[in-house]
Amino acid sequence: MGTHKKDHIRSLLEEPAVRQHWKELNGAEPSDEDLDRLYEEFTPLQMEILPRHCDVIPGVPEVTAQLRERGIKFANTTGFDTGMMSDLIRLAGEGGYTPDLWVCPDLVGKGRPAPWMAFHAAKALNLYPMATFVKVGDTLADIEEAHAAGMWAVSVLRHGNEVGLSREAVEQLPPDQLAARLETARTRLASRRPHYILDATADLIPVVEEISARIARGERP
C-alpha cells in the first residue's frame, strides 16, 4: 500500500503463490504486457470505486486549518494517477480538505518510495531544505518516501492501512481486539523507523511544534 497502483499490481504478481497460480491458469508466468493490461483494466474500476471511499478523516480539516494559521503549507502525495483524482479532489474539498498542492506519480515518473513527488512538491511550493518538511502517512511506503527525501516521518495508526478497518469497524471493535490491531500496526510501522507514530492525524499539531523546536535547535531528520 502507498505505492503507485501499477507498482502495487506488480508487487502482487511477484508474490510466489500468485505467480504460480497465474502460471497454472495461463501456461506462463505474468509478463510486462500482462501487467500493462491489468493496469488498464484496473484504472476504470478504481475510478468507479474511489468516490465511495473518500470521506475526509476526522480531525484532518481542523489540523489543516491550524497549519494554515501557522503559515505552514502542505501538499498531498498519492499513489493514484492524475486521471483518478478529479472526483477525489472535489470530494475532499467538500469535506474540508484542500491542500496547497496535489502530486501524483505520473507527474514525476515514479511514486513512493522514491522521493520525486516530495521533491516536486518542494519545488512547486518554493520551499527548502527538505529537512524542514514533515511527511505524514499511514503506510510503510510513506516512511520510506520520507527517508529517501530527507524529511521527518510521522506515521498514523488508527485510520491507517496497517489497521485496515473502516471508521465504523474501528468503533465497533472490542477494546482488546482494537488494542491488538493497533499494536501490530505500530510494530510494522516502527520497523521502518519513523520519527513519530501517532494514534490519529488529529494529534499532529503538537508533533509539528516539537519538530519545529528541534529544527530551530539545529536538528535534522
157 in Cβ contact with 139 (< 8 Å): no
- Residue 20 makes CB contacts below 8 A (sequence gap 6+) with none
Q: With 0-12 CB in 10 A as exposed, 13-18 as middle and 19+ as buried, what is 48? A: exposed
- Mean pLDDT score of the chain: 92
d(CA 93, CA 106): 22
- Domain spanning 52-216: which CATH class is it, in words? alpha beta
Mean pLDDT, range 117-140, rounded to an integer: 96
Helix (H), strand (E) counts: the chain: 11, 5
- pLDDT > 90: percent of the chain: 73
Single pTM value for the model: 0.85
* Positive or negative: CA dihedral 121, 127, 129, 132: negative
> Where exactly are the structural domains of the chain?
5-51, 52-216
User: With the C-alpha atoms ordered 180, 151, 85, 200, is the resulting torsion angle positive or negative?
Assistant: positive
